[in-house]
Amino acid sequence: MKAITYSSYGPPDVLVLSDVDAPTPAADEVLIRVHAAEATKADCEMRSFHFSVKWFWLPLRLVMGVRRPRRQILGGYFCGEVVEVGHSVDQLAVGDLVYGSSQLQLGAYGEYLALPANYTLTPKPTNMSPTEAAAVPLGGLNALHFMRRANIRPGETMLINGAGGSIGLHAVQIAKSMGARVTAVDSAVKRDFVLGMGADRFIDYRTRDFTQEGKTYDIIFDMVPSSSYRACMRCLNQGGRYLAGNPRLSVMLRCLVTNWLGNKMATFAFAKETMEELQTLTTMIEAGKIKPIVDKVFPMAEATKAHRRVETEQRIGAVVLAIREQPPTLCLAKVSSTNR
Ligand SMILES: NC(=O)c1ccc[n+]([C@@H]2O[C@H](COP(=O)([O-])OP(=O)(O)OC[C@H]3O[C@@H](n4cnc5c(N)ncnc54)[C@H](OP(=O)(O)O)[C@@H]3O)[C@@H](O)[C@H]2O)c1
C-alpha cells in the first residue's frame, strides 16, 4: 500500500510517499481503508521532535524512538471504511464508515490501518463528509474532555486562549453548547472564523494582552504554553477554573499548589480519548452543535506541503490529507511497515 513515511526526525521534507506492507488485522481488529487523516500540530511536533512544552521531549523520545522514529507512519486521527474484520469482532462490519483515533499506534497517513475494534472508533457522523469527519477526533476529544472538567454552568464566562486551533475551535463550540459566554483569543486572521463558530468576543493576541484588560472570567482554557500562569490566575473569578491544555512542568506543579491552597481550581489532566466521548461528539455533530472546521485538503502525495501549512500557521481550521484519492495498492512491499 502507499503511505507517507519518515525515517528520521526533521523538517517537512523528511515525509516521503512510500510503498509499504499493508497491515493484516488480528482476530480482535478491523482493517480500515483510510479516506482522510488530519495533519495535526502534534504530527508536526512528532516529525520534527520540537515541542513547545519541553518536558515532553525525553519520555516521548524513549517511546517514539531515540535515534529514529520507531513508527514511521504518522497520523492519529482519521476517517475511513472498514474493509475487513477479525473473527472476534462483532461491533463493526465491512462497509462501515468510521472515524476516530489510532492513539499511539498512529498509522493513519497510510492507505490501510489495522486497529483493535475497541479503540476509539465509531461510525462517522451522517452529516459530515469523510474529510470533515477526519478533522474532528483530535480537536473534539480533547476539547470535550476539558469542557467537561470545566463543569460549565449556563451563563458563566470563559476565555479560550488559542481558540483558532484544532482543539480551540472545538472548545468554542462545545463551551457555547454548554451555555458559556466565550471570549476567544488567537491571531486576527482567524477572527471571523472563530466568531462564526459561536464565540461572543474575539481578542487578537498579537495586539492585545487579555491579562492586562482588567476583565475576569469564571473559566480559562489555555492551549498556549507560553502563557503567564500568575497573570491567568489573576484573571479568574473566585471559584474559577483554569484548564491547562498544553502545560509546562512548572505550570503542572503550580496547578497542584493552587488546588491545595486556594479557592480556585487548576487542572492539566490529559484527555483519555474514550469511545463514549467520540459517540457524544457524533451526537453533537448530528444535532448541529459542532460544525466542520476544515481549512484545506491536500492530496496524500503533498503531505510535505500540508505540514508546512500547519507549521506556518496560515491555516484557518484543520489541514486534512486525502488518502483515499490514491488508487488502492495493497501488498506492494518495498519498505516494511513499522507501525505494527
Ligand atoms: N493537553 C492535551 O491532551 C493535548 C492533546 C493534543 C495536543 N496537545 C497540544 O496542544 C497544542 C495545541 O493543539 P492544537 O492542535 O489545537 O494546535 P493548533 O491547531 O496549532 O492551535 C494553537 C492555536 O494557538 C494560537 N496561538 C499561538 N500562540 C498564541 C498566543 N500567544 N495566544 C493565543 N493564541 C496563540 C495559534 O495561532 P497562531 O496562528 O498565531 O500560531 C493556533 O491557532 C499542540 O502543541 C498539541 O501538541 C495537547
Q: How far is the CA of 162 from the centre of ligand 1 (A)?
A: 6
Q: If you take atom 35 of ligand 1, which residue's CA is the nearest one?
A: 162
Q: Which atom, in ligand 1's list, is nearest to the CA of 53? A: 45
Residues 55, 40 share a domain: yes
- DSSP readout, 100-146? EE-GGG--TTBSEEEEETTSSEEEPPTTS-HHHHHTSHHHHHHHHHH
Alpha helices in the chain (DSSP H): 41-48, 57-64, 130-134, 137-150, 166-177, 191-196, 229-234, 249-261, 275-286, 303-312
Q: What is the dihedral of CA 156, 160, 163, 169, to 10 degrees?
A: -40
Q: How far is the CA of 278 from the centre of ligand 1 (A)?
A: 21
Mean pLDDT over the full length of the chain: 93
Does residue 50 belong to any structural domain of this protein? yes
Does residue 170 belong to any structural domain of this protein? yes
Residues 313, 249 share a domain: no
Does residue 275 belong to any structural domain of this protein? no
Q: If you take atom 17 of ligand 1, which residue's CA is the nearest one?
A: 165
Q: Which atom, in ligand 1's list, is nearest to the CA of 244? A: 1
Res. 332 pLDDT band, cuts 50 70 90: very low
pLDDT over threshold 90, residue 336 = no
Q: What is the pLDDT of residues 84-114, one digit of tens each?
A: 999 999 999 999 999 999 998 999 999 999 9
Mean of pLDDT values over 3-31: 97
Residues 143, 263 share a domain: yes
Residues 42, 16 share a domain: yes
- The CATH number covering residue 216 comes to 3.40.50.720
Residues with beta carbon inside 6 Å of ligand 1? 40-42, 45, 52, 142, 161-162, 164-168, 185-187, 205, 223-224, 226, 245-246, 270-271, 313
Q: If you take atom 3 of ligand 1, which residue's CA is the nearest one?
A: 270
Does residue 273 belong to any structural domain of this protein? no
pLDDT at 334: 38
Does residue 104 belong to any structural domain of this protein? yes
Does residue 308 belong to any structural domain of this protein? yes
Does residue 327 belong to any structural domain of this protein? no
Q: Between 61 and 197, name the one with better pLDDT.
A: 197
Residue 215 to residues 106, 110, 204, Cα–Cα distance (Å): 41, 47, 15
pLDDT at 325: 62
Q: How far is the CA of 333 from the centre of ligand 1 (A)?
A: 37
Helices 166-177 and 137-150, packing angle to 10 deg? 50
Q: What is the pLDDT of residues 227-248, one digit of tens each?
A: 999 999 999 999 999 999 988 8
Q: How far is the CA of 4 from the centre of ligand 1 (A)?
A: 24
Residues 222, 306 share a domain: no
Q: How far is the CA of 42 from the centre of ligand 1 (A)?
A: 9
- The CATH number covering residue 36 comes to 3.90.180.10
Contact assessment for residue 60 and residue 97, using Cβ atoms and an 8 Å cutoff:
no
Residues 200, 318 share a domain: no
Q: How far is the CA of 51 from the centre of ligand 1 (A)?
A: 11
Q: What is the pLDDT of residues 241-293, one digit of tens each?
A: 999 998 888 899 999 989 888 789 999 888 999 999 999 999 999 999 999 99
Q: Between 330 and 87, name the one with better pLDDT.
A: 87
Residues 161, 121 share a domain: no
pLDDT at 328: 43
Residues 202, 121 share a domain: no
Q: How far is the CA of 165 from the centre of ligand 1 (A)?
A: 5
Residues 88, 24 share a domain: yes
Does residue 212 belong to any structural domain of this protein? yes
Residues 317, 249 share a domain: no
Contact assessment for residue 116 and residue 27, using Cβ atoms and an 8 Å cutoff:
no
Contact assessment for residue 179 and residue 205, using Cβ atoms and an 8 Å cutoff:
no
For the entire predicted model, the pTM comes to: 0.93
What is the residue range of 203's domain? 138-267
Q: If you take atom 34 of ligand 1, which residue's CA is the nearest one?
A: 162
Mutate-to-test residue for ligand 1 from 74, 167, 169, 320, highest number of ligand atoms within 8 A of CB: 167
Res. 327 pLDDT band, cuts 50 70 90: very low
pLDDT at 333: 32
Residues 203, 216 share a domain: yes
What are the helix and strand counts (H, E) for the chain? 10, 15
Residues 225, 263 share a domain: yes
The total of structural domains in the chain comes to: 2
